[in-house]
């Protein structure tokens, strides 16, 4: 069987992409972001047979996969507890099985054209879509650094900013730095397997949720309050964390096998202001109840949208994705019943 460069099936034009795959030249909808909201948009867009491309810059599955793949999620209905990575993979599988195309590419530019939009990616490709759903979560971000001597030298040599697999810390002496939910949840995640976990926090109280604070206090985790890591030492890998009590200036040297720094995240520069949609601040997109943005043909959902009463949960992001898809469908197909 041989293909011409393009072929038209059921009103959609496809271009040749290798011997056995066909990709539409103009997608009905391009979803920017492959986290739970974007992947749910893929599932629902396919129920309406909209040709769908999902572009994800960092990790398909979003924060679930990139930030906490082995941490349990307790608030996704129908799963009493499920690991982030497993839930992420189920989202990806469902979306892909529904017929959404998923590519690991970062969208850097969005241009309007007569028939829709052109999206350019950092990987050098240009995709055309008749509509867009933006679902980029909190955008690209980087973990905040302590900026202390030894930190950069031992990064990936015992100094970590996220936990890919809690089993890596089996039998190890671990210092976790931070007092927010991320730090406490990481300490709780590894405490069963680790030899020892010391949580170092610069204040005498946590900012994390009471549920996490209570769990930490009831666990084997040793907590050093009013404590600051001032340097990391070792030979080829991190071996010691130098910690000061910021009230007494007493110095303690902790023997460690790993240091996990979890003191928050810093967003990378976002291209959003250049894409023409009305924003709230510089990272949130204002949407109406139908998830439409200020630009006709562009919809949004998930952690990056703003509307009165918005709550950032996986399940609400998924609900918004369904609404966004239905709006895209009505916009493109103008069904008699809408």
Binding site for ligand NAP (CB under 6 A): 144, 146, 177-183, 185, 202-203, 207, 263-265
**Residues 281, 293: Cα–Cα separation, whole Å:** 15
User: Nearest approach, Cβ of 187 to ligand NAP (angstroms)?
Assistant: 11
User: Nearest approach, Cβ of 217 to ligand NAP (angstroms)?
Assistant: 16
User: Nearest approach, Cβ of 183 to ligand NAP (angstroms)?
Assistant: 6
User: Nearest approach, Cβ of 257 to ligand NAP (angstroms)?
Assistant: 21
Report which residue's Cβ sits closest to ligand NAP.
Answer: 180
User: Nearest approach, Cβ of 316 to ligand NAP (angstroms)?
Assistant: 13
Cα–Cα nearest to 71, from 212, 196, 219, 237: 212
Residue (179 or 302) nearer to ligand NAP, CB: 179
Sheet containing 26-27: give its strands across: 26-27, 126-129, 116-121, 107-113
Residue (108 or 263) nearer to ligand NAP, CB: 263
Residue (178 or 297) nearer to ligand NAP, CB: 178
Per-residue tokens: 131: 């509509």
Cα–Cα nearest to 241, from 162, 150, 170: 150
**Residues 159, 261: Cα–Cα separation, whole Å:** 7
User: Nearest approach, Cβ of 252 to ligand NAP (angstroms)?
Assistant: 16
Residue (37 or 177) nearer to ligand NAP, CB: 177
Residue (42 or 85) nearer to ligand NAP, CB: 85
CA atoms within 13 A on the CB side of 60: 21
Residue (72 or 98) nearer to ligand NAP, CB: 72
**Residues 39, 102: Cα–Cα separation, whole Å:** 9
Terminal Cα-to-Cα distance of the chain (whole angstroms): 42
Q: Under the phi-then-psi rule, with left for phi > 0, alpha for psi from -120 to 50, and beta for the rest, what region is 271?
A: alpha
Per-residue tokens: 141: 């971000």
Cα–Cα nearest to 67, from 143, 144, 134, 135: 143
The H-assigned helical ranges of the chain are 36-47, 63-66, 84-98, 181-190, 210-217, 314-333
User: Nearest approach, Cβ of 18 to ligand NAP (angstroms)?
Assistant: 41
User: Nearest approach, Cβ of 292 to ligand NAP (angstroms)?
Assistant: 28
Residue (63 or 327) nearer to ligand NAP, CB: 63
Q: Are 127 and 121 spatial neighbours (Cβ–Cβ below 8 Å)?
A: yes
Residue (223 or 295) nearer to ligand NAP, CB: 223
Per-residue tokens: 279: 């924003």
Residue 147, classified by CB atoms within 10 Å of its CB into exposed (0-12), middle (13-18) or buried (19+), is exposed
DSSP three-state, residue 216 = helix
């Amino acid at each position: 069987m041989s293909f011409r460069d393009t072929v038209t099936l059921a009103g959609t034009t496809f271009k040749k992409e290798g011997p056995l795959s066909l990709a539409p030249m103009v997608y009905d909808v391009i979803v920017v972001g492959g986290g739970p909201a974007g992947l749910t948009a893929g599932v629902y867009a396919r129920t309406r047979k909209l040709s769908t491309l999902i572009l994800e810059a960092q990790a398909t599955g979003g924060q679930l996969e990139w930030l906490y793949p082995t941490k349990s999620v307790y608030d996704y209905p129908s799963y009493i507890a499920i690991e982030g990575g497993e839930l992420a993979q189920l989202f990806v599988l469902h979306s892909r099985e529904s017929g959404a195309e998923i590519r690991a590419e970062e969208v850097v530019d969005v241009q309007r054209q007569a028939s829709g939009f052109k999206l350019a990616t950092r990987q050098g490709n240009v995709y055309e879509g008749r509509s867009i759903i933006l679902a980029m979560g909190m955008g690209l971000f980087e973990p905040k650094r302590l900026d202390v001597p030894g930190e950069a030298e031992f990064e990936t040599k015992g100094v970590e900013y996220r936990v890919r697999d809690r089993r890596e810390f089996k039998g190890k002496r671990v210092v976790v730095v931070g007092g927010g939910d991320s730090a406490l949840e990481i300490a709780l995640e590894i405490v069963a397997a680790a030899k020892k976990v010391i949580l170092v926090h610069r204040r005498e109280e946590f900012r994390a949720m009471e549920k996490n604070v209570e769990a930490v206090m009831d666990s084997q985790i040793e907590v050093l309050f009013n404590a600051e890591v001032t340097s990391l030492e070792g030979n080829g890998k991190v071996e010691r964390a130098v910690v000061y009590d910021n009230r007494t200036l007493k110095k303690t040297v902790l023997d460690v096998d790993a240091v996990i720094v979890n003191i928050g995240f810093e967003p990378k520069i976002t291209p959003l202001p250049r894409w023409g949609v009305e924003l709230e601040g510089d990272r949130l997109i204002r949407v109406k109840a139908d998830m439409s943005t200020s630009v006709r043909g562009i919809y949004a959902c998930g952690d990056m949208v703003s509307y009165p009463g918005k709550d950032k949960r996986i399940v609400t992001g998924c609900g918004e994705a369904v609404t966004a898809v239905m709006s895209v469908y009505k916009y493109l197909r103008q069904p008699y019943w809408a």
